[in-house]
Amino acid sequence: MRKCPKCAQRLSPLYFKTACKYCGADLLYYRFDERLEQDAQKAAAQEEKIQRLLNKLPFRKKR
């Protein structure tokens, strides 16, 4: 079951319009936005891993 990300009203899986019929939210935009956020979170997690690895490297401590 699809849900409107803004008003959380249930939308039929057969409802293919790009705007929520209850609140008019742009469903395509919302979904795209969500995906961007997930990507950003993944990237941040990756960055943290790399930083932790770099901090473990011995040559950094010799300085």
Residues of this chain that interact with Zn ion (CB under 5 A) are 4, 6-7, 20, 22-23, 25
Could you tell me the smallest distance in angstroms from the CB atom of residue 38 to Zn ion?
Answer: 21
Q: Least separation, in Å, of the C-beta of 31 and Zn ion?
A: 13
Smallest distance from Zn ion to CB 14, Å = 16
Identify the CA nearest to 15 among candidates 1, 35, 32: 1
**23 vs 43, which CB is nearer to Zn ion?**
23
